[in-house]
Amino acid sequence: MNHLSQIRNKLIGSYKIVALTKEWKKDGETIVFTNGCFDLLHLGHIEYLARAASLGSKFIIGLNSDQSVKTLGKGGLRPIKDQKTRATILAALEFVSAVVIFNEDTPYQLISSILPNILVKGGDWEIDAIAGADVVTKNGGQVKSIPFVEGYSTTNYVEIIQNGKS
């Protein structure tokens, strides 16, 4: 199988991911889930995602659809990259097992259907405020917050691009 096929095979719909995660769990895999926009992928994202992936054996990223990014109040220019591009870039990362695009404001429904062993978000999120934390812990899973890498922010990069200053 060529590399492009391997990447495309990681782009999974919400119905297929439920069956796949059941199969993985049956095989004894530890499923880690995180979500976000991942618009302008930067060093902070890579370090965060790599740390999250290292918590288990299968790593799923829930990706905000273009429509859901627009409702998050990140500014009129966002997303800069369309969902297909963002999903493909994430799927190209070796440690990513699957990327699933969701349209809702939060991935609560997706998390409820997958029930990952470990739910992860960035350090700016309090555990109680993480979408799906309640359902994951209720089903015996863990919720973790991974600290941000200082100095890296998509919002800052957008400002630099718009204003021409760094």
Least confident of 32-41, 107-116, 149-158: 149-158
Report which of 29, 64, 134 is spatially closest to residue 20, judged by C-alpha positions. Answer: 29
Rounded to two decimals, the pTM is: 0.90
* Predicted confidence band of residue 137 (pLDDT cuts 50, 70, 90): very high
Give Cα separations from 118 to 54, 68, 135, 143, 145 (angstroms): 11, 23, 11, 6, 10
- What does the pLDDT look like over 5-43, one tens digit per residue? 999 999 999 999 999 999 999 999 999 999 999 988 888
CA-to-CA distance for 115 and 4, rounded, in angstroms? 29
- pLDDT at position 59 is 98
Question: Cβ–Cβ contacts within 10 Å for residue 33, how many?
Answer: 29
- pLDDT at position 77 is 72
Instruction: Dig out the tokens for 48 from the structure.
Output: 């965060």
**CATH number, position 158:** 3.40.50.620
Question: pLDDT at residue 150 above 80?
Answer: no
- pLDDT over 90 for what percent of the chain? 68
Into how many domains does the chain fold?
1
- What does the pLDDT look like over 44-101, one tens digit per residue? 899 999 999 999 999 999 999 999 988 876 667 778 899 999 999 999 999 999 999 9
Instruction: Dig out the tokens for 107 from the structure.
Output: 């991935």
* Predicted confidence band of residue 155 (pLDDT cuts 50, 70, 90): low
Enclosing domain of residue 75? 3-163
- State the amino acid at position 18 in one-letter form: V
- pLDDT at position 154 is 55
- 116-137 mean pLDDT: 89
